[in-house]
Amino acid sequence: MDFKRLGFSDQLSQYAASPSKKVASGWWLAMAATFVVASLFFLNSSVKIPFLFPAFQGLNSLGSRNSSSERSHLYWPFSFSPVSSCCSGAGSGDGSLMDSEGRRTGGIVDTHFGNFTENPKNESFDSKEEENPRKNYSQIGRSESFSNVIDKGIVSFEIRKNESVSGEGQNGTNAQNGTVDLLRMEMNFYKKECDIYDGEWVRDDTKPYYLSGLCPYIDRDFDCHFNKRPDDGYIKWKWQPYACDIPSFNSTDFLEKMRGKSLVIVGDSLNRNMWESLVCMLRAGVHDKNRVYEISGRSKFKKKGFYAFRFEDYNCSVDFVGSPFLVRESTFNGVNGSFETLRLDLMDQTTPMYNDADIMIFNTGHWWTHEKTSRREDYYQEGDHVHTRLKVLEAYKRALHTWARWVDSNVDPNRTQVIFRGYSATHFRGGRWNSGGQCHNETEPIFNKKQLAKYPSKMKALERVIRDMKTPVVYMNISRLTDYRKDGHPSVYRAEGHNGVHAQDCSHWCLPGVPDTWNELLYASLLKSGRGSWAN
């Protein structure tokens, strides 16, 4: 038969007339269809991109319904910063989320949102770096990207071909081509994998939470703009964790969660730096500024003492207690007269000022490098014994154990949340704080990780102390993120004017500035802890 003369329907009728041909062709068609369906299902399941094959989206959702790490929709009652901001960092020219060696670069392992210590025996405080757990995951190529859409509290994600990474939030829309880790799509903010202290500084040209001229409570020594610092680049950097996005600071939400409660920041002048920043950030969200005031009417806070800001509309207070060592400064009557000592075995006498606070934020460290402590001779006291010589680090450890015992004995963990802010890096060149050290003319952060200092021994000691405590403690591990910011100090732009080139401040931070980031991380840490009024 000449098939060339038959139409398409006639050719089919020839096969229909032959039972054997019908069975054979049907079997091959069934096999081909099965192979196509199986291929599509395998590709859709492995890539996890439902919009490629919508017919299988339900299967993916069904298989991951009980897995929090594979949800396609997550709910958060607050806004996140744009995901795209991670890809525009000065430290990652190709948009990569990992360093050149494929390792995590921030702080220590397992300080995820501050090492919650409810189960201290199972927690690791190893300070060694580990391989980045994300480095073996597939990544979206440069021709693909994702965007996040936040609408009515629902965060959804959609992947588009041949578009740049974009994210739209309260600060506008940003776009940047780059390689984006697939895990970032899931915004693992609440997951242990998200260490908010492991990240990089990225450029951010949006305005700060408050302006120096609009917050009257900034210490003159911290107000670099008022002291005529000529550049403003130090306020145009944002901390971006590698593994997730942190929520933008929401002053109204913070104050609402603090309604009827008290937050007390205890420590040295670096914690006062943080406290003034927090007061200004919260005050910026209050409509009637007259309803925010220091209860004693003071507006200068350099003297050691107790200061309390009242937020009248929320019946809450944000306080500062000066206690640079946390333990007690004392005197000892010796054979040759009395002399100053530091009681490593007793808490400072300021504890009654904050023992009933709902949130306690501690720090100590900078004063342990001052002349009296660094001499190590006839200064540290325990009981009636004054150590003729004791290494500073050993004395610091003993003081921390005294603090830990006080917390475990006096704090109700069901009512009070305890936080310890880690050591803030200094950037003195050519000398120490009292011997001509300088940091002026610095206008950019450090971008080369090899220039960063080693992780402080004092913070390693702190981790071990926290690990053994009964009370859960959030550790704000800011040491590394502050080490990048050599540009953020007041340097010569202090109240004394520019004559103090040889007495520069390379320890404290300009406000607005780096401490605002600490308070962003504080807000994120409290949200992640989810305790009491901070539960979602």
* Helix/strand number for the chain, H first, E second: 10, 20
Does residue 76 fall inside a structural domain?
Answer: no
Indicate the range of 99-108, 337-346, 361-370, 377-386 predicted with least confidence.
Answer: 99-108
Share of residues in the chain with pLDDT > 90 (%): 51
Does residue 101 fall inside a structural domain?
Answer: no
User: What's the pLDDT score for residue 342?
Assistant: 95
> In 3-state terms, what secondary structure has residue 461?
helix
User: What's the pLDDT score for residue 496?
Assistant: 72
Tell which of 63, 92, 113 closes a domain. 63
User: What's the pLDDT score for residue 436?
Assistant: 78
Q: Is 505 part of the annotated catalytic residue set? A: yes
pLDDT winner (highest mean) among 50-64, 122-136, 363-377, 485-499: 485-499
Catalytic residue among 204, 483, 505, 516: 505
As a whole number of angstroms, the distance between CA 85 and CA 164 comes to: 12
Tell which of 63, 85, 113 closes a domain. 63
As a whole number of angstroms, the distance between CA 274 and CA 521 comes to: 12
User: What's the pLDDT score for residue 435?
Assistant: 74
Tell which of 63, 84, 114 closes a domain. 63
Outline where DSSP puts E strands in 213-326. Answer: 237-241, 262-267, 292-294, 306-311, 316-322
The C-alpha R_g of the chain, in whole angstroms, comes to 29
Could you read off the pLDDT of 220-275 as tens digits, one per residue? Answer: 999 999 999 999 999 999 999 998 999 999 999 999 999 999 999 999 999 999 99
Q: Which residues contact 242 (CB under 8 A, 6 or more apart)?
A: 86, 97, 98, 104, 105, 106, 134, 181, 198, 199, 200
Give mean pLDDT, residues 66-90: 39
Does residue 119 fall inside a structural domain?
Answer: no
| Residue whose C-alpha is closest to residue 148's, from 92, 207, 190, 85 | 85
Question: Which band of pLDDT confidence, cut at 50, 70 and 90, is reported for residue 327?
Answer: very high
Does residue 349 fall inside a structural domain?
Answer: yes
Question: Residue 117 pLDDT more than 60?
Answer: no
Share of residues in the chain with pLDDT > 70 (%): 62
Question: Which band of pLDDT confidence, cut at 50, 70 and 90, is reported for residue 123?
Answer: very low
| Residue whose C-alpha is closest to residue 157's, from 243, 80, 242, 74 | 74
Could you read off the pLDDT of 186-208 as tens digits, one per residue? Answer: 456 777 778 999 999 999 999 89
Does residue 125 fall inside a structural domain?
Answer: no
Give mean pLDDT, residues 459-469: 98
Could you read off the pLDDT of 268-324 as tens digits, one per residue? Answer: 999 999 999 999 999 999 999 999 999 988 878 877 789 999 999 999 999 999 999
Question: Residue 12 pLDDT more than 60?
Answer: no
To which residue do tokens 């060149």 refer? 429
Does residue 143 fall inside a structural domain?
Answer: no
Task: Read off the tokens for 471.
Answer: 């009370």
Does residue 92 fall inside a structural domain?
Answer: no
Please report, in angstroms and rounded to a whole number, the separation of the first and last CA atoms in the chain: 77
Residue 479 is part of which domain span?
203-440+454-534
User: What does pTM read for this prediction?
Assistant: 0.68
Does residue 360 fall inside a structural domain?
Answer: yes
Question: Which band of pLDDT confidence, cut at 50, 70 and 90, is reported for residue 81?
Answer: very low
Q: Please give the residue that has the higher pLDDT: either 453 or 9.
A: 453
Question: Residue 487 pLDDT more than 60?
Answer: yes
To which residue do tokens 């021994």 refer? 457
As a whole number of angstroms, the distance between CA 233 and CA 203 comes to: 9
Q: Please give the residue that has the higher pLDDT: either 527 or 141.
A: 527
Question: Residue 7 pLDDT more than 70?
Answer: no
Give mean pLDDT, residues 23-47: 58
To which residue do tokens 């790490």 refer? 69
Mean pLDDT, the chain, integer: 75
Q: How many domains does the chain have?
A: 2
As a whole number of angstroms, the distance between CA 405 and CA 400 comes to: 9
- Can you list the pairs that 203-208 forms with residues at least 24 positions away whose Cβ atoms lie under 8 Å? 203/88, 203/89, 203/90, 203/236, 203/237, 203/238, 204/85, 204/171, 204/236, 204/237, 204/238, 205/236, 206/171, 206/172, 208/235, 208/512, 208/516
In contact, 463 and 398? CB cutoff 8 Å:
no
Q: Is the peptide bond before 247 cis (omega within 30 degrees of 0)?
A: no
pLDDT winner (highest mean) among 43-57, 92-106, 498-512: 498-512
Q: Which amino acid, 522?
A: L
As a whole number of angstroms, the distance between CA 31 and CA 114 comes to: 56
Rounded to the nearest 5 degrees, what angle is found at the Cα of 132, between the Cα atoms of 465 and 199? 70
Give mean pLDDT, residues 391-415: 97
CA 70 from chain center: how many Å? Answer: 23
| Residue whose C-alpha is closest to residue 464's, from 110, 38, 9 | 110
CA 497 from chain center: how many Å? Answer: 33
Catalytic residue among 387, 401, 489, 508: 508
Question: Residue 127 pLDDT more than 70?
Answer: no
Question: Which band of pLDDT confidence, cut at 50, 70 and 90, is reported for residue 156?
Answer: very low
| Residue whose C-alpha is closest to residue 351's, from 323, 331, 329 | 323
With 0-12 / 13-18 / 19 or more C-beta atoms within 10 angstroms meaning exposed / middle / buried, residue 157 is middle
Q: Is 269 part of the annotated catalytic residue set? A: yes
Catalytic residue among 269, 323, 424, 479: 269
CA 354 → CA 139, 250, 328, 420, 461, distances in Å? 48, 25, 15, 15, 25
Q: Is 508 part of the annotated catalytic residue set? A: yes
CATH for 486: 3.40.50.1110
